[in-house]
Amino acid sequence: MAFSRFFGRGRDAAANAAQATDSPTPDAAEEGESDVPGADDSAPEDASQRSWGDRAEAMLPTGASTGSKRAVALWGDDADPGLPTHLLSARGCRVIDVNGTSYVDCTMALGSVALGYGEPRVTRAVVDAASEGNVGALSSWREVELAERLHTLIPCAERVQFLKTGAEATSAAVRIARTYTGRERIVASGYFGWHDWSSEQPGVLAAVRGATQHVPFDDIASLERAVADAGSDLAAIVIEPVVERKPSDAWLRRARELCDASGAALVFDEIKTGFRVAPGGYQELCGITPDLATFGKALANGYPLAAVVGHAAVMDAARNTWISSTLASESTALAAALAVLDWHEEADVCATLGDTGREIRASFDRAIAASGVGGVTVDGIDQMFLLRWNDAVREARFLGECARAGVIVKRGAYNFAAIAHDEEAIQEIEAATSGALVALADWENAR
């Protein structure tokens, strides 16, 4: 009987349970057994030898609930099983895996952390909110205060609605645009998450896929053709304003003109750019204001919060459809975001992210130049940059060597600067990169 795990365990078991910790220690990480019935057909003494990676592959259909944190996504198809897969703790710009090994992190949780892991002011705000009870029958007062403060920071934010993820917020923006215009067709440029409206993956209905036409970034001719194809049924142009580089002014200006001419809504996905290139996102820098925009990631320094914001006339269409999430206004993430906004009021966080990112990029460039290894360049903008390799096998080998030297670098996508990346961390990044490139050259010469 399932309840026997909790009842009938006896006083000794209860006493032992009271001494248990909530998270695995480094020693326990290799010894822990799964509590899931049927999770392992081997004998108990054999189960203790299974790694966290093996256990994840056995129980999670893709090995990790976040796709970019799958072992194959982190390290490549033929990854060394000794490379890190699971987190024990994170502080500043460093993470510790379940084996107790510390790494400088260049991914910063896929860009969701811009200040640093466990930033004290954010943590205190979250703990205070949690101690009051983070949810209840009514919305948190923090929802109103945060909305008011975002209104003062983001050019298009006359109205604000909160959700939990960037994909959810951008899907809400598309729903609002369709409701406002009474139209269906979407022209999109960028990555917007896994939801059906923007995905061409298996399981998405052909009719849904057909309602969205994707165009290349900064390609005005393709944008114009797609808008013409949509005709009078165009509901929105949805753009990620920065994709590995800043766009041309003409690209965003033309998108604005096409929406104005057709009565469609212009939507900026500022999930990565908001509170990173500028508090108000790229729209604050480029001078082109969208009708709707979405924010997330650095907004709450790693706590689950996203927002769709926009002009009142467009946002008010949300009253005529249904967009709601049970935990959209829970208080801990809202408190984290308010603490992040305090940081931005007191310091030029985005300028510091730019300066720090420039130093990290330079450390990669120096290491590459000194090693003489070719086939790799550092691209992107300072706040969010990537190492572009000409060969996936060489890239995977390099990333594994970096990890063994104590630095985690993102495979095939952005690395992100954080306030917590101090001079010591940057020196460690350069040393690890240099060593990894030398090891890569040695491996190639020995083949």
What CATH code is carried by the domain that includes residue 318? 3.40.640.10
> Does residue 229 lie within any of the structural domains?
yes
Where does the pLDDT of residue 364 fall: very low under 50, low under 70, confident under 90, or very high at 90 and above? very high
Q: What is the DSSP string of 32-50?
A: ----STTS--S-HHHHTT-
- Quick one: 277 and 382 in the same domain? no
- Write the CB contacts of 4 (distance below 8 Å, at least 6 apart in sequence): none
- The residue-averaged pLDDT of 156-166 equals 98
- Quick one: 138 and 212 in the same domain? yes
State yes or no: pLDDT of 349 exceeds 60: yes
pLDDT at 26: 44
> Does residue 148 lie within any of the structural domains?
yes
**Mean pLDDT over all residues of the chain?**
90
Which 8-state DSSP code applies to residue 413?
S
> Does residue 373 lie within any of the structural domains?
yes
> Does residue 377 lie within any of the structural domains?
yes
Which 8-state DSSP code applies to residue 264?
P
In contact, 239 and 294? CB cutoff 8 Å: no
Amino acid, res. 172: A
Question: Residue 1 pairs with which residues in a beta bridge?
Answer: none
Where does the pLDDT of residue 12 fall: very low under 50, low under 70, confident under 90, or very high at 90 and above? very low
- Quick one: 256 and 383 in the same domain? no
- Quick one: 133 and 220 in the same domain? yes
- Write the CB contacts of 89 (distance below 8 Å, at least 6 apart in sequence): 23, 95, 96
> Does residue 50 lie within any of the structural domains?
no
Torsion of CA 328, 331, 332, 337, to 10 degrees: 80
Structure-token match 């995905």, residue found = 199
> Does residue 250 lie within any of the structural domains?
yes
Q: How is residue 418 written in tokens?
A: 């954080």
Helix (H) or strand (E) holding 387: strand 384-389
318 vs 162: CA distance, rounded Å: 12
Q: Provide the number of structural domains found in the chain.
A: 2
- Quick one: 174 and 277 in the same domain? yes
- Quick one: 290 and 391 in the same domain? no
Q: How is residue 119 written in tokens?
A: 């930033």
Single residue among 346, 375, 393 that ends a domain in this structure: 346
pLDDT at 49: 55
335 vs 219: CA distance, rounded Å: 40
Q: Which of 53, 323, 65 is nearest to 194 (CA)?
A: 65
Single residue among 346, 378, 395 that ends a domain in this structure: 346
Which structural domain range is residue 399 located in?
A: 349-446
> Does residue 21 lie within any of the structural domains?
no
Q: 31-81, pLDDT tens digit by residue?
A: 333 443 334 444 433 444 579 999 999 999 999 999 999 989 899 988 788
Q: 365-407, pLDDT tens digit by residue?
A: 999 999 999 999 999 999 999 999 999 999 999 999 999 999 9
pTM over 0.85? The answer is yes
Single residue among 308, 323, 346 that ends a domain in this structure: 346
pLDDT at 79: 77
pLDDT at 6: 33
- Quick one: 383 and 440 in the same domain? yes
State yes or no: pLDDT of 4 exceeds 70: no
- Quick one: 301 and 331 in the same domain? yes
192 vs 196: CA distance, rounded Å: 10
Structure-token match 């896994």, residue found = 194
> Does residue 49 lie within any of the structural domains?
no
- Quick one: 209 and 285 in the same domain? yes
Q: How is residue 124 written in tokens?
A: 């205190």
- Quick one: 361 and 323 in the same domain? no
Where does the pLDDT of residue 446 fall: very low under 50, low under 70, confident under 90, or very high at 90 and above? confident
- Quick one: 295 and 435 in the same domain? no
State yes or no: pLDDT of 136 exceeds 90: yes
With 0-12 / 13-18 / 19 or more C-beta atoms within 10 angstroms meaning exposed / middle / buried, residue 334 is buried
Q: Which of 445, 437, 421, 431 is nearest to 95 (CA)?
A: 421
In contact, 305 and 113? CB cutoff 8 Å: no
State yes or no: pLDDT of 5 exceeds 80: no
In contact, 149 and 338? CB cutoff 8 Å: yes
- Quick one: 294 and 405 in the same domain? no
Q: What percent of the chain has pLDDT over 70?
A: 89
CATH number (domain holding residue 391): 3.90.1150.10
Q: 78-102, pLDDT tens digit by residue?
A: 878 889 999 999 999 999 999 999 9
242 vs 218: CA distance, rounded Å: 9
